[in-house]
Structure 1
């Protein structure tokens, strides 16, 4: 289960308006023989109530508040977007009646909406709702995760009920991918961040919110008024089962039907127990550390961050934590993404460079009189990686502690900067839409989801150039400059990328895991 090496690639991955996913990292098929079609299994008509066992629930159901896997699995079923992703990485109309038309100068996008769409509360979905959604995403007070995706929108206006016209300040190469990611909300709901939709929902998607029991289950019911083809299952329940052994047992004894985020080293075990399992080649997760940028924290010092970056044993983490289904990583713009530069992605190497780490530590002038605190998101893989980082830092002469918390537990610290390092794993470009501009959301000083509050004027300028560069050659050059600056500054300390494994029941005839981080392929189960 090893990632194979590829040459540095910046090949074209977009065809007209269709953004094509480039997340394949060339991983060999997961050992254990668990992959493959389940067409020979019993028909899935026996399953009316689909149960998905998850490690954790979303800390909020607000589709503007989070873009984590836990959140998107929920709101991609409850909300619709203007466009949608196909599994081959192309874009298709969703709420749009057809793909948008774009002016020759790239500044005007015209979107025709399909008729007779309603929200779950029965109100009509019109162009005014799309305009409302864009304006709420643009409002910096809302802190929407989609803020950077609408940064170049000058105006959005409704022309009647079925047409939206978007004017841009500059040609923005990735607006189509954002139109497939931003969930459309109703203008009849007065939006308040993490309040209006925090524990309920009002979308137009194939399922509607039914109930939420914190720490136990989140239940959805099929939307019988859905404008598209009806989904197979009457209900979808996300059941919170944090223990891997329990999730595997529930799957193999028929209590559940899908287990996302399966540890890669458990693929063979699941297969031997009669269920399906595979490593999803195109679904890539990035392991990194948020460094606090508060002035009183040692991690606000760039040399201190570079000391940490050079001290980490990335290959040990790949081998021991991810069973080899991963790669060391040094750049935010990660492997498989359009315009990723593989040479820069390997800048910190597979093994620690303690001499260089000590040089940066000395240059930082930091002399810690306490232990460095590492918070690891409550995920077995991330916690295991954190203990390896802890040991690496000890070799550098830095004592550290590891504290495991869920997102809700450490989020206040992340926002306030009251921490040293927070280890986290996050989907790569799937989190914002199969395009390199997810980097802008994490490293631009003005982005709402730049949680570490990294601020670097040179990086801001480089990102602005990359976001608006026209033509493949100019875009490749601009994104390489971003990656060069990233290696020099490490606004997020990059550690590794890994591929996600998934298990599913033999009863799910025709089901295959999605290349996205949400359950995109449920619509294909007939």
Structure 2
């Protein structure tokens, strides 16, 4: 999620000299991109860019601009056994790591075995819970044997492959590789100044062809307004922007505004450790008072749509019946029946407990701030007092098991990818995964069935049932599904649009295929 420890910084003069508007188009073989968050590691085993597109690493497969699975380090998509329990990959010939070492099947096996090793501190292990073994019959062949049928398993094998020769026998949790990695990707790490920037340079021996953009500088800039200022002054070539800050760039020569559809949602995470937010009736009532249309229009400037659940609304997995209009009378009835009684001041309480809680938001994120304020206003209409509190990431992390929080997640991929970690009780309290410690046995059962059932039509039904159950016992009060809006220098050909997940950084955004860009002449 976009709540990480970073600091907005000025780039050095040498970087600014190649930034937007200061160099001829023919010389634009470098790009400066503002990103947030700053990664905490560059090791795929520990969760860096887990679904591919990291630029430093390749997986066995990747996703194209239509989100179709395509071969990457594998020469073709895997061969599946009839029971969907065995998947066989054949590696491309001639692929090397950036240190010149050839890629072999042993590197692939080592990568996945490291994820599965209980001593590895990674939240990704559950993604590969189906894996029983990884075999390497020869240097170019990798065979995954699963414990149960899992037809969607290949979608997970975009995981970046790490070199066994550099990590075998090391403590993968703390090794220096995590900040100075070696991969097979189109770019290599040149430098990383924590809290400031990361510089990548082209891997001239990349198996997919040497990139035309030779240097990619990632500036870690958390604050929306700071990003807008840096874009306007020419220190950045590209950045994600909240919709209300992009108008100044629409008619600026040499700049373009791009709106990209995404599965990225924002909602109010309601913690179960709070006596008010843990009340099912209060959560259901507040779900009915959120004016989502007003949020889309006023906060997003129309760049998005109302959100009612955690799955991508344009996908086959989505359950449309969970959608509903604003219904204040129904919300009032639910609260009345649950014993939340209005006092003379119009605010509710149940016994000695006032219907009052706090919604936190990342103080640097203007969209989250506006959502928190709008939600507070809507809740007050039915007598619920919601305070808003903009905090640093460090401060809100200490309170998110007790105070509500404006959060974001979402993926256009298979629903198992993120949904399991956000709503399954086994992830309760594990960082940004299920921070409110939501526990619903029916939800757990459906999510377990969703990842173990081989038949796709049956899985669609399971995830539709999951959405209905979550709507009846909401862990989150979903608000909006965003279009991602970017401001970019109009200096390259080859940009392709891709429906995006929540995650950003270099892995996602209009720059997801930067290795294929060509400077405009």
Shorter-chain TM-score category? 0.7 to 0.9
SS in 2 for 1:373: strand
Q: What residue is the counterpart of 1:293 in the other structure?
A: 272
Q: Following superposition of structure 1 onto structure 2, how do residues 3-402 of structure 1 map, counting pairs within 5 Å?
A: 45-65=26-46, 76-139=54-117, 142=120, 144-180=122-158, 182-187=159-164, 188-189=166-167, 190-193=170-173, 199-244=179-224, 246-248=226-228, 250-251=230-231, 254-259=234-239, 261-274=240-253, 275-281=255-261, 283-294=262-273, 297-344=275-322, 346-347=323-324, 349-350=325-326, 354-356=331-333, 358-359=335-336, 362=339, 368=353, 372-377=357-362, 378-402=364-388
2:419 and 2:251 map into 1 onto residues whose CA distance is 40
Contact 1:314 1:351 in 2 (8 A): no
1:338 and 1:254 map into 2 onto residues whose CA distance is 42
- Offset at 1:93? 0.9
1:372 and 1:173 map into 2 onto residues whose CA distance is 43
Indicate yes or no: 2:512 matched with 1:520.
yes
Q: What residue is the counterpart of 1:424 in the other structure?
A: 407
Q: What residue is the counterpart of 1:480 in the other structure?
A: 464
- Offset at 1:168? 1.4
Q: What residue is the counterpart of 1:445 in the other structure?
A: 425
Contact 1:97 1:114 in 2 (8 A): yes
Q: CA deviation digits over 1:449-473, x for unaligned, max 9?
A: 3343322221111122222334343
Q: What residue is the counterpart of 2:18 in the other structure?
A: none
The counterpart of 1:499, out of the listed 483, 487, 500, is 483
1:131 and 1:142 map into 2 onto residues whose CA distance is 15
Report the TM-score, using the length of structure 1 for normalisation: 0.80
Segments of structure 2 that go 5 or more residues without pairing to the other structure are 1-22, 341-348
Q: What residue is the counterpart of 1:14 in the other structure?
A: none
1:184 and 1:407 map into 2 onto residues whose CA distance is 31
1:326 and 1:193 map into 2 onto residues whose CA distance is 39
2:406 and 2:313 map into 1 onto residues whose CA distance is 19
2:374 and 2:217 map into 1 onto residues whose CA distance is 35
Contact 1:222 1:231 in 2 (8 A): yes
**CA distance 1:303–1:370, change in 2 (3 Å):** closer
Contact 1:337 1:436 in 2 (8 A): no
2:491 and 2:326 map into 1 onto residues whose CA distance is 41
Q: CA deviation digits over 1:281-334, x for unaligned, max 9?
A: 3x231102333233x554334334334333333222222211122222221223
1:436 and 1:356 map into 2 onto residues whose CA distance is 35
**CA distance 1:172–1:406, change in 2 (3 Å):** farther
Report the TM-score, using the length of structure 2 for normalisation: 0.80
2:29 and 2:337 map into 1 onto residues whose CA distance is 58
Root-mean-square deviation over aligned CA pairs = 3.1
- Offset at 1:58? 3.1
Q: What residue is the counterpart of 2:474 in the other structure?
A: 490
Q: What residue is the counterpart of 2:10 in the other structure?
A: none
Q: CA deviation digits over 1:199-239, x for unaligned, max 9?
A: 44332211122222233212212223322211122211111
Contact 1:390 1:401 in 2 (8 A): yes
Q: CA deviation digits over 1:252-293, x for unaligned, max 9?
A: 55432222x222244443221121112113x23110233323
SS in 1 for 2:127: helix
Q: What residue is the counterpart of 2:440 in the other structure?
A: 456
- Offset at 1:244? 4.3
- Offset at 1:155? 1.7
Segments of structure 1 that go 5 or more residues without pairing to the other structure are 1-41
- Offset at 1:55? 4.7
Contact 1:513 1:521 in 2 (8 A): no
- Offset at 1:391? 2.2
- Offset at 1:336? 1.6
Q: Determine which structure has more spread, i.e. the larger CA radius of gyration.
A: 2
**CA distance 1:523–1:366, change in 2 (3 Å):** farther
- Offset at 1:165? 0.8
Aligned pair count reads 470
- Offset at 1:513? 4.5
